Protein backbone atom coordinates (compact mmCIF):
# COMPACT_ATOMS: atom_id res chain seq x y z
CA UNK A 1 0.00 0.00 0.00
CA UNK A 2 1.30 3.46 -0.90
CA UNK A 3 0.42 6.40 1.33
CA UNK A 4 0.07 9.63 -0.64
CA UNK A 5 0.40 12.78 1.43
CA UNK A 6 -0.83 15.54 -0.81
CA UNK A 7 -1.91 17.99 1.82
CA UNK A 8 0.17 19.66 4.55
CA UNK A 9 -1.93 18.44 7.53
CA UNK A 10 -1.38 14.83 6.44
CA UNK A 11 2.31 15.42 5.99
CA UNK A 12 2.65 17.06 9.40
CA UNK A 13 0.76 14.21 11.08
CA UNK A 14 2.94 11.57 9.47
CA UNK A 15 6.09 13.42 10.49
CA UNK A 16 4.84 13.68 14.06
CA UNK A 17 4.11 9.94 14.22
CA UNK A 18 7.57 9.13 12.86
CA UNK A 19 9.22 11.48 15.31
CA UNK A 20 7.32 9.95 18.22
CA UNK A 21 8.31 6.45 17.17
CA UNK A 22 11.92 7.49 16.76
CA UNK A 23 11.91 9.19 20.14
CA UNK A 24 10.48 6.07 21.78
CA UNK A 25 13.12 3.88 20.20
CA UNK A 26 15.82 6.35 21.16
CA UNK A 27 14.59 6.38 24.73
CA UNK A 28 14.66 2.57 24.93
CA UNK A 29 18.13 2.50 23.45
CA UNK A 30 19.32 5.14 25.91
CA UNK A 31 17.84 3.21 28.82
CA UNK A 32 19.59 0.04 27.71
CA UNK A 33 22.93 1.73 27.24
CA UNK A 34 22.64 3.58 30.53
CA UNK A 35 21.62 0.41 32.37
CA UNK A 36 24.62 -1.38 30.89
CA UNK A 37 26.93 1.43 31.96
CA UNK A 38 25.53 1.35 35.50
CA UNK A 39 25.86 -2.41 35.63
CA UNK A 40 29.52 -2.17 34.66
CA UNK A 41 30.12 0.05 37.70
CA UNK A 42 29.23 -2.98 39.80
CA UNK A 43 27.99 -1.25 42.97
CA UNK A 44 24.74 -1.87 44.79
CA UNK A 45 23.54 1.67 44.08
CA UNK A 46 24.42 1.53 40.37
CA UNK A 47 22.74 -1.86 39.92
CA UNK A 48 19.60 -0.66 41.68
CA UNK A 49 19.45 2.36 39.33
CA UNK A 50 19.96 0.05 36.38
CA UNK A 51 17.03 -2.09 37.55
CA UNK A 52 14.81 0.98 37.58
CA UNK A 53 15.70 1.62 33.94
CA UNK A 54 15.23 -2.03 32.87
CA UNK A 55 12.97 -3.73 35.43
CA UNK A 56 12.55 -6.85 33.21
CA UNK A 57 16.29 -7.50 32.84
CA UNK A 58 16.97 -10.68 34.83
CA UNK A 59 20.74 -10.35 34.54
CA UNK A 60 20.72 -7.08 36.50
CA UNK A 61 18.98 -8.76 39.47
CA UNK A 62 21.41 -11.69 39.21
CA UNK A 63 24.41 -9.37 39.33
CA UNK A 64 22.98 -7.52 42.30
CA UNK A 65 22.24 -10.82 44.05
CA UNK A 66 25.79 -12.10 43.54
CA UNK A 67 27.18 -8.80 44.81
CA UNK A 68 25.12 -9.12 47.99
CA UNK A 69 25.98 -12.82 48.22
CA UNK A 70 29.77 -12.68 47.91
CA UNK A 71 30.76 -9.25 49.27
CA UNK A 72 31.72 -8.88 52.92
CA UNK A 73 29.17 -6.13 53.43
CA UNK A 74 26.42 -7.94 51.56
CA UNK A 75 23.01 -8.72 53.00
CA UNK A 76 21.81 -12.37 52.88
CA UNK A 77 18.19 -11.23 52.72
CA UNK A 78 18.91 -8.79 49.90
CA UNK A 79 20.79 -11.50 48.01
CA UNK A 80 17.83 -13.87 48.27
CA UNK A 81 15.38 -11.16 47.18
CA UNK A 82 17.41 -10.15 44.12
CA UNK A 83 18.12 -13.72 43.03
CA UNK A 84 14.49 -14.71 43.48
CA UNK A 85 13.55 -11.92 41.09
CA UNK A 86 16.18 -13.10 38.60
CA UNK A 87 14.75 -16.64 38.59
CA UNK A 88 11.22 -15.29 38.19
CA UNK A 89 12.23 -13.29 35.14
CA UNK A 90 14.35 -16.08 33.61
CA UNK A 91 13.73 -19.52 35.13
CA UNK A 92 15.74 -21.22 32.37
CA UNK A 93 19.12 -20.10 33.75
CA UNK A 94 20.70 -22.72 35.98
CA UNK A 95 23.26 -20.21 37.24
CA UNK A 96 20.49 -18.02 38.70
CA UNK A 97 18.98 -20.97 40.57
CA UNK A 98 22.36 -22.19 41.81
CA UNK A 99 23.25 -18.78 43.24
CA UNK A 100 19.82 -18.54 44.83
CA UNK A 101 20.45 -21.92 46.45
CA UNK A 102 23.75 -20.64 47.84
CA UNK A 103 22.06 -17.52 49.21
CA UNK A 104 19.34 -19.56 50.91
CA UNK A 105 21.90 -21.99 52.36
CA UNK A 106 23.90 -19.06 53.74
CA UNK A 107 20.70 -17.79 55.33
CA UNK A 108 20.06 -21.20 56.94
CA UNK A 109 17.24 -22.37 54.65
CA UNK A 110 18.78 -25.68 53.58
CA UNK A 111 15.51 -27.29 52.47
CA UNK A 112 14.62 -24.57 49.96
CA UNK A 113 18.27 -24.39 48.88
CA UNK A 114 18.01 -28.04 47.86
CA UNK A 115 14.85 -27.26 45.90
CA UNK A 116 16.59 -24.40 44.10
CA UNK A 117 19.46 -26.71 43.12
CA UNK A 118 16.91 -29.17 41.73
CA UNK A 119 15.54 -26.31 39.59
CA UNK A 120 19.11 -25.50 38.48
CA UNK A 121 19.72 -29.08 37.40
CA UNK A 122 16.37 -29.22 35.61
CA UNK A 123 17.26 -26.06 33.71
CA UNK A 124 20.80 -27.21 32.82
CA UNK A 125 21.08 -30.96 33.46
CA UNK A 126 24.60 -31.41 32.04
CA UNK A 127 26.30 -28.13 32.92
CA UNK A 128 29.41 -29.17 34.95
CA UNK A 129 29.46 -26.21 37.34
CA UNK A 130 25.81 -26.84 38.28
CA UNK A 131 26.51 -30.51 39.00
CA UNK A 132 29.65 -29.53 40.94
CA UNK A 133 27.73 -27.14 43.16
CA UNK A 134 24.94 -29.65 43.72
CA UNK A 135 27.49 -32.33 44.69
CA UNK A 136 29.26 -29.96 47.07
CA UNK A 137 25.90 -29.04 48.63
CA UNK A 138 25.12 -32.73 49.19
CA UNK A 139 28.50 -33.27 50.87
CA UNK A 140 28.08 -30.25 53.13
CA UNK A 141 24.67 -31.46 54.22
CA UNK A 142 25.52 -35.11 54.96
CA UNK A 143 23.99 -36.64 51.84
CA UNK A 144 26.74 -39.07 50.73
CA UNK A 145 24.56 -41.20 48.42
CA UNK A 146 23.35 -38.14 46.55
CA UNK A 147 26.88 -36.75 46.41
CA UNK A 148 28.21 -39.95 44.81
CA UNK A 149 25.43 -39.96 42.23
CA UNK A 150 26.05 -36.31 41.40
CA UNK A 151 29.78 -36.99 41.20
CA UNK A 152 29.09 -39.77 38.70
CA UNK A 153 26.92 -37.45 36.59
CA UNK A 154 29.52 -34.68 36.77
CA UNK A 155 32.41 -36.86 35.65
CA UNK A 156 30.33 -38.42 32.88
CA UNK A 157 29.67 -34.90 31.57
CA UNK A 158 33.13 -33.44 32.29
CA UNK A 159 35.94 -35.98 33.05
CA UNK A 160 38.53 -33.20 33.65
CA UNK A 161 36.72 -32.47 36.92
CA UNK A 162 38.17 -35.72 38.32
CA UNK A 163 41.04 -33.88 39.99
CA UNK A 164 38.55 -31.71 41.91
CA UNK A 165 36.00 -34.44 42.61
CA UNK A 166 38.34 -37.09 44.02
CA UNK A 167 39.48 -35.14 47.12
CA UNK A 168 35.84 -34.41 47.91
CA UNK A 169 34.30 -37.84 47.44
CA UNK A 170 37.13 -39.77 49.08
CA UNK A 171 35.80 -38.36 52.36
CA UNK A 172 32.54 -40.33 52.02
CA UNK A 173 33.57 -43.45 50.05
CA UNK A 174 36.60 -45.71 49.78
CA UNK A 175 38.74 -45.47 46.67
CA UNK A 176 37.66 -48.89 45.43
CA UNK A 177 34.02 -47.80 45.39
CA UNK A 178 34.91 -44.61 43.55
CA UNK A 179 36.93 -46.49 40.93
CA UNK A 180 34.25 -49.12 40.34
CA UNK A 181 31.08 -47.03 40.57
CA UNK A 182 31.80 -43.32 40.16
CA UNK A 183 34.79 -42.63 37.93
CA UNK A 184 34.23 -43.01 34.17
CA UNK A 185 36.36 -45.57 32.36
CA UNK A 186 38.34 -43.29 30.07
CA UNK A 187 42.02 -42.55 29.66
CA UNK A 188 41.85 -38.96 30.92
CA UNK A 189 40.22 -40.02 34.19
CA UNK A 190 42.72 -42.83 34.70
CA UNK A 191 45.57 -40.37 34.16
CA UNK A 192 44.18 -38.02 36.82
CA UNK A 193 43.61 -40.93 39.19
CA UNK A 194 47.18 -42.20 38.83
CA UNK A 195 48.52 -38.73 39.62
CA UNK A 196 46.21 -38.37 42.61
CA UNK A 197 47.12 -41.77 44.08
CA UNK A 198 50.86 -41.36 43.51
CA UNK A 199 50.94 -37.86 44.99
CA UNK A 200 49.02 -38.97 48.10
CA UNK A 201 50.98 -42.19 48.56
CA UNK A 202 47.77 -44.25 48.23
CA UNK A 203 48.68 -46.30 45.15
CA UNK A 204 49.57 -49.47 47.05
CA UNK A 205 46.02 -50.06 48.29
CA UNK A 206 44.06 -48.81 45.29
CA UNK A 207 46.20 -50.14 42.43
CA UNK A 208 44.69 -53.69 42.30
CA UNK A 209 41.16 -52.32 41.88
CA UNK A 210 42.32 -49.71 39.41
CA UNK A 211 44.18 -52.24 37.29
CA UNK A 212 41.22 -54.62 37.24
CA UNK A 213 39.10 -51.72 35.99
CA UNK A 214 41.69 -50.88 33.34
CA UNK A 215 41.75 -54.45 32.04
CA UNK A 216 37.96 -54.73 32.08
CA UNK A 217 37.50 -51.57 30.04
CA UNK A 218 40.51 -51.93 27.76
CA UNK A 219 41.26 -48.22 28.31
CA UNK A 220 44.77 -47.93 29.80
CA UNK A 221 46.31 -44.78 31.24
CA UNK A 222 48.45 -42.94 28.70
CA UNK A 223 52.03 -44.21 28.53
CA UNK A 224 53.42 -41.44 30.76
CA UNK A 225 51.02 -42.29 33.60
CA UNK A 226 51.26 -46.04 33.01
CA UNK A 227 55.01 -45.70 33.42
CA UNK A 228 54.59 -43.57 36.53
CA UNK A 229 52.25 -46.12 38.09
CA UNK A 230 54.66 -49.02 37.51
CA UNK A 231 57.67 -47.03 38.69
CA UNK A 232 55.85 -45.92 41.84
CA UNK A 233 54.95 -49.52 42.69
CA UNK A 234 58.55 -50.56 42.12
CA UNK A 235 59.74 -47.78 44.40
CA UNK A 236 57.63 -49.10 47.29
CA UNK A 237 58.59 -52.73 46.74
CA UNK A 238 55.28 -53.91 45.23
CA UNK A 239 56.99 -56.20 42.76
CA UNK A 240 54.18 -58.69 42.12
CA UNK A 241 51.58 -56.10 41.14
CA UNK A 242 54.10 -54.05 39.14
CA UNK A 243 55.12 -57.21 37.27
CA UNK A 244 51.48 -58.01 36.55
CA UNK A 245 50.93 -54.54 35.05
CA UNK A 246 54.16 -54.86 33.07
CA UNK A 247 53.21 -58.25 31.59
CA UNK A 248 49.59 -57.29 30.89
CA UNK A 249 50.66 -54.06 29.19
CA UNK A 250 53.22 -55.73 26.94
CA UNK A 251 50.80 -58.47 25.92
CA UNK A 252 48.19 -55.84 24.97
CA UNK A 253 50.69 -53.64 23.17
CA UNK A 254 50.38 -50.76 25.64
CA UNK A 255 54.13 -50.99 26.31
CA UNK A 256 56.43 -51.66 23.37
CA UNK A 257 58.29 -54.58 24.90
CA UNK A 258 58.84 -58.07 23.50
CA UNK A 259 56.11 -60.53 24.61
CA UNK A 260 58.53 -63.41 23.98
CA UNK A 261 60.80 -62.19 26.78
CA UNK A 262 58.40 -61.36 29.59
CA UNK A 263 58.58 -64.85 31.14
CA UNK A 264 62.37 -64.81 31.44
CA UNK A 265 63.83 -64.42 34.98
CA UNK A 266 65.37 -61.11 33.85
CA UNK A 267 63.84 -59.32 30.89
CA UNK A 268 66.46 -58.31 28.32
CA UNK A 269 69.22 -59.98 30.30
CA UNK A 270 71.40 -60.20 27.18
CA UNK A 271 70.74 -56.61 25.95
CA UNK A 272 69.47 -57.89 22.60
CA UNK A 273 66.17 -56.05 22.85
CA UNK A 274 65.72 -52.26 22.68
CA UNK A 275 66.03 -50.92 26.23
CA UNK A 276 62.75 -49.40 27.41
CA UNK A 277 64.36 -47.61 30.35
CA UNK A 278 61.67 -48.34 32.95
CA UNK A 279 59.66 -51.11 34.55
CA UNK A 280 61.25 -54.56 34.41
CA UNK A 281 63.87 -53.61 31.84
CA UNK A 282 67.26 -52.02 32.37
CA UNK A 283 67.06 -48.46 33.63
CA UNK A 284 69.86 -45.98 33.00
CA UNK A 285 69.81 -42.80 35.05
CA UNK A 286 71.56 -39.74 33.58
CA UNK A 287 75.06 -39.03 34.88
CA UNK A 288 77.14 -36.09 33.68
CA UNK A 289 80.35 -38.02 34.39
CA UNK A 290 79.48 -41.12 32.34
CA UNK A 291 77.95 -42.24 29.07
CA UNK A 292 76.14 -45.58 28.85
CA UNK A 293 75.56 -47.44 25.60
CA UNK A 294 75.05 -50.92 24.15
CA UNK A 295 78.05 -52.37 22.30
CA UNK A 296 78.46 -55.49 20.14
CA UNK A 297 81.83 -56.33 21.72
CA UNK A 298 80.54 -58.85 24.25
CA UNK A 299 82.20 -62.09 25.37
CA UNK A 300 81.45 -63.69 21.99
CA UNK A 301 81.86 -61.99 18.59
CA UNK A 302 78.82 -59.81 17.92
CA UNK A 303 77.33 -60.48 21.37
CA UNK A 304 75.71 -57.37 22.91
CA UNK A 305 76.96 -55.89 26.15
CA UNK A 306 76.24 -52.72 28.09
CA UNK A 307 79.18 -50.38 28.65
CA UNK A 308 79.70 -47.33 30.84
CA UNK A 309 82.48 -44.95 29.84
CA UNK A 310 83.65 -42.56 32.56
CA UNK A 311 85.06 -39.12 31.81
CA UNK A 312 88.51 -37.91 32.84
CA UNK A 313 86.96 -35.91 35.70
CA UNK A 314 84.74 -38.70 37.08
CA UNK A 315 84.81 -38.87 40.88
CA UNK A 316 81.26 -39.53 42.09
CA UNK A 317 79.74 -42.91 42.91
CA UNK A 318 78.19 -44.58 39.87
CA UNK A 319 75.06 -46.66 40.45
CA UNK A 320 73.04 -45.51 37.46
CA UNK A 321 72.37 -48.85 35.74
CA UNK A 322 69.79 -51.07 37.46
CA UNK A 323 67.21 -53.82 36.89
CA UNK A 324 64.41 -54.91 39.31
CA UNK A 325 63.51 -58.54 39.93
CA UNK A 326 60.57 -60.04 41.81
CA UNK A 327 61.55 -62.27 44.76
CA UNK A 328 59.70 -64.31 47.33
CA UNK A 329 60.32 -63.56 51.01
CA UNK A 330 62.74 -66.00 52.61
CA UNK A 331 63.98 -67.45 49.30
CA UNK A 332 67.54 -67.54 47.94
CA UNK A 333 68.67 -66.48 44.48
CA UNK A 334 71.89 -66.62 42.49
CA UNK A 335 73.03 -63.74 40.29
CA UNK A 336 75.73 -64.44 37.71
CA UNK A 337 77.12 -62.13 35.03
CA UNK A 338 80.25 -61.21 33.14
CA UNK A 339 82.18 -57.98 33.76
CA UNK A 340 85.02 -56.39 31.85
CA UNK A 341 86.99 -53.32 32.91
CA UNK A 342 89.42 -51.08 31.04
CA UNK A 343 91.73 -48.64 32.81
CA UNK A 344 89.65 -48.67 36.02
CA UNK A 345 92.39 -47.78 38.49
CA UNK A 346 90.28 -47.18 41.60
CA UNK A 347 90.84 -49.42 44.61
CA UNK A 348 87.16 -50.50 44.68
CA UNK A 349 86.87 -51.25 40.95
CA UNK A 350 83.38 -52.24 39.73
CA UNK A 351 80.88 -54.87 40.84
CA UNK A 352 77.21 -55.84 40.88
CA UNK A 353 75.04 -55.32 43.94
CA UNK A 354 71.67 -56.87 44.81
CA UNK A 355 69.51 -55.25 47.48
CA UNK A 356 65.90 -55.37 48.58
CA UNK A 357 63.63 -52.46 47.68
CA UNK A 358 61.65 -50.88 50.52
CA UNK A 359 62.75 -53.71 52.83
CA UNK A 360 64.11 -52.60 56.19
CA UNK A 361 67.02 -54.66 57.48
CA UNK A 362 67.57 -56.46 54.16
CA UNK A 363 71.27 -57.24 53.74
CA UNK A 364 72.62 -56.54 50.21
CA UNK A 365 74.76 -59.00 48.29
CA UNK A 366 77.70 -58.07 46.07
CA UNK A 367 79.86 -59.84 43.52
CA UNK A 368 83.65 -59.77 43.49
CA UNK A 369 85.15 -56.45 42.50
CA UNK A 370 86.80 -56.18 39.08
CA UNK A 371 89.40 -53.46 38.44
CA UNK A 372 92.25 -52.48 36.19
CA UNK A 373 92.06 -53.74 32.62
CA UNK A 374 90.69 -57.26 32.27
CA UNK A 375 89.07 -59.63 29.87
CA UNK A 376 85.57 -60.87 30.53
CA UNK A 377 85.34 -62.25 34.06
CA UNK A 378 82.41 -64.20 35.46
CA UNK A 379 81.11 -62.87 38.77
CA UNK A 380 78.31 -64.06 41.03
CA UNK A 381 76.48 -63.27 44.24
CA UNK A 382 73.91 -65.15 46.29
CA UNK A 383 70.98 -63.09 47.57
CA UNK A 384 68.76 -64.18 50.47
CA UNK A 385 65.44 -62.32 50.47
CA UNK A 386 64.29 -61.21 53.91
CA UNK A 387 60.90 -62.00 55.40
CA UNK A 388 59.45 -58.73 54.12
CA UNK A 389 61.28 -58.51 50.81
CA UNK A 390 59.20 -58.86 47.64
CA UNK A 391 61.36 -56.95 45.20
CA UNK A 392 65.12 -56.73 44.68
CA UNK A 393 67.27 -54.57 42.44
CA UNK A 394 70.44 -55.42 40.58
CA UNK A 395 72.78 -52.43 40.26
CA UNK A 396 76.05 -51.93 38.40
CA UNK A 397 78.29 -50.07 40.86
CA UNK A 398 81.58 -48.27 40.50
CA UNK A 399 82.40 -46.44 43.75
CA UNK A 400 83.73 -42.91 43.56
CA UNK A 401 87.05 -41.57 44.78
CA UNK A 402 88.19 -38.93 47.26
CA UNK A 403 89.60 -35.50 46.38
CA UNK A 404 93.19 -36.72 46.83
CA UNK A 405 92.76 -39.76 44.56
CA UNK A 406 93.13 -39.88 40.77
CA UNK A 407 89.85 -39.59 38.80
CA UNK A 408 87.70 -42.71 38.47
CA UNK A 409 87.80 -42.83 34.68
CA UNK A 410 87.90 -45.89 32.44
CA UNK A 411 85.26 -48.27 31.16
CA UNK A 412 83.06 -51.01 32.67
CA UNK A 413 81.04 -53.45 30.52
CA UNK A 414 78.33 -55.91 31.55
CA UNK A 415 77.05 -59.00 29.69
CA UNK A 416 75.36 -62.37 30.15
CA UNK A 417 73.30 -61.54 33.24
CA UNK A 418 71.49 -64.52 34.78
CA UNK A 419 69.12 -64.82 37.75
CA UNK A 420 68.33 -68.23 39.24
CA UNK A 421 65.96 -69.21 42.02
CA UNK A 422 67.80 -71.65 44.31
CA UNK A 423 66.18 -74.38 46.38
CA UNK A 424 63.53 -73.33 48.90
CA UNK A 425 64.64 -72.52 52.43
CA UNK A 426 64.82 -75.25 55.03
CA UNK A 427 61.85 -73.81 56.94
CA UNK A 428 59.56 -73.97 53.89
CA UNK A 429 60.80 -77.43 52.88
CA UNK A 430 60.28 -78.79 56.39
CA UNK A 431 56.56 -78.00 56.44
CA UNK A 432 55.53 -80.42 53.64
CA UNK A 433 57.86 -83.09 55.11
CA UNK A 434 56.21 -82.76 58.51
CA UNK A 435 52.75 -83.12 56.94
CA UNK A 436 53.84 -86.25 55.09
CA UNK A 437 55.21 -87.73 58.31
CA UNK A 438 51.94 -86.98 60.10
CA UNK A 439 50.04 -89.05 57.56
pLDDT of 345 above 90: no
Determine the 3-state secondary structure of 227 from DSSP: helix
For position 435, what pLDDT does the model report?
Answer: 40
Mean pLDDT of the chain: 88
* The domains spanning 26-261 and 283-424 adopt the same CATH topology: no
Better-predicted residue by pLDDT, 17 or 161? 161
More confident residue, 426 or 421: 421
pLDDT for position 279? 97
The percentage of the chain sitting over the pLDDT mark of 70, rounded to a whole number, equals: 86
Give the model's confidence band at 438: pLDDT under 50 very low, under 70 low, under 90 confident, else very high: very low
Task: Name the pTM for this structure.
Answer: 0.81
Average pLDDT rounded to a whole number, residues 93-103: 96
Residue 218: which pLDDT band, with cuts at 50, 70 and 90? Answer: very high
C-alpha triplet 132, 135, 139: angle, nearest 5°: 135
Distance separating alpha carbons of residues 277 and 293, to the nearest angstrom: 12
Domain boundaries, the chain: 26-261, 283-424
The answer to whether 252 touches 220, Cβ cutoff 8 Å, is yes
CATH topology for the 283-424 domain:
Jelly Rolls (2.60.120)
Please say if the pLDDT value at position 37 is more than 80. no
pLDDT bucket at 198, cuts 50 / 70 / 90: very high
Mean pLDDT of 92-109: 95
CA–CA separation, 109 vs 76, rounded Å? 11
Q: Does 434 score more than 50 pLDDT?
A: no
In this structure, of 43-52, 63-72, 264-273, the range with the lowest mean pLDDT score is: 43-52
pLDDT at residue number 58: 86
Nearest Cα neighbor of 396 from 320, 331, 292 is: 320
Please give the pLDDT value at position 337: 98
Amino acid 436: pLDDT: 41
Q: What local confidence, expressed as pLDDT, does residue 61 receive?
A: 83
**Least reliable range by pLDDT among 64-78, 149-163, 405-419, 425-439:** 425-439
| 26-261 belongs to CATH 3.40.50.10320 | no
As a whole number, mean pLDDT of residues 334-346 equals 95
pLDDT bin (cut points 50, 70, 90) of residue 10 is low
Residue 139 in this model has a pLDDT that exceeds 60: yes
What letter would DSSP give residue 300? S
Query: Which of helix, strand or coil describes residue 257?
Result: coil
- The pLDDT of residue 30 is 47
Q: Please give the pLDDT value at position 433.
A: 44
Gap between the Cα atoms of 340 and 370, Å rounded: 7
Q: How far is CA 57 from the centre of its chain?
A: 44
List the single range of 10-24, 133-147, 275-289, 346-360 with lowest mean pLDDT.
Answer: 10-24
Q: What is the pLDDT of residue 439?
A: 36
The angle that helices 110-123 and 94-106 make with each other, rounded to 10 degrees, is: 170
User: Which has more confidence, 47 or 128?
Assistant: 128
Amino acid sequence: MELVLERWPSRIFAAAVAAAATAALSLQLWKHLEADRLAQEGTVASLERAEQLEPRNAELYWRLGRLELFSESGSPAAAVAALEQATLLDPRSGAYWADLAQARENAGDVERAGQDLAHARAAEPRTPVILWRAMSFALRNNQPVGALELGRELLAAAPPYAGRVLPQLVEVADMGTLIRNVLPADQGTFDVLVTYLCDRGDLRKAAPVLWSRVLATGQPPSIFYLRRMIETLLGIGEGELAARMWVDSIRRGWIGGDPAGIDEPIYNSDFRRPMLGFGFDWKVMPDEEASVWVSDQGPQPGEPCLCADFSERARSDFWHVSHPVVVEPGERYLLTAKLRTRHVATRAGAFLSVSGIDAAGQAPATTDHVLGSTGWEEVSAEFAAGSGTHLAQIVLVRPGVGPEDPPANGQVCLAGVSWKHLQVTEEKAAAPAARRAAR
